[in-house]
């Protein structure tokens, strides 16, 4: 028998932020996956981020994902700056070293251009505010 068991994270991970609840969410970084893009083989980095808290409590516990491409590395700049990195020309950073680190991401709802489906869109990052 092909049996599956859902975890709480599995159930929550399909949750899309409410349109009126976009805002800054505290996130914990998971294990980044690296793979070639389907289009041209350039490297794509997919970073899973577990929602810890934020303006939409229904999203707490969910995984959201941010994808970075080697063709647009500037998009990862704010991610590393939020983690305290000194981002400058010639600097190198390893996504694997970010696992379990925390930061905040601004999450909003948007429609995917390719499918028209609603999705969580992380538009920016910042450090977690001091308590």
pLDDT of 23:
96
pLDDT of 77:
95
Handedness of CA 37, 85, 27, 101 (dihedral sign): positive
pLDDT of 10:
85
Kindly state the helix (H) or strand (E) to which residue 50 belongs, with its residue range: strand 43-53
Mean pLDDT by 10 residues, the chain (131 residues): 88 89 97 93 95 93 94 94 94 94 96 90 93 72
Pairing of strands 43-53, 23-29: antiparallel
pLDDT of 33:
96
Domain annotation for the chain: domains and CATH numbers = 21-126 (2.40.50)
Q: Residue 28 and residue 115: Cα distance in Å, rounded?
A: 28
Instruction: Determine contact, residues 122/107, Cβ cutoff 8 Å.
Output: yes
């Amino acid at each position: 028998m092909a049996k599956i068991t859902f975890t709480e994270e599995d159930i929550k991970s399909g949750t899309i932020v409410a349109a009126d609840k976009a805002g800054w969410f505290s996130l914990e970084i998971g294990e980044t996956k690296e793979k070639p893009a389907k289009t041209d083989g350039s490297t794509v980095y997919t970073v899973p981020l577990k929602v810890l808290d934020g303006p939409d409590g229904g999203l707490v516990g969910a995984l959201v994902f941010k994808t970075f491409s080697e063709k647009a590395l500037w998009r990862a700049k704010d991610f590393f700056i939020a983690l305290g990195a000194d981002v400058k020309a010639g600097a190198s950073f390893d996504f694997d070293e970010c696992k379990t680190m925390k930061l905040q991401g601004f999450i909003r709802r948007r429609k995917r251009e390719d499918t028209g489906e609603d999705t969580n869109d992380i538009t920016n990052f910042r450090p977690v505010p001091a308590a």
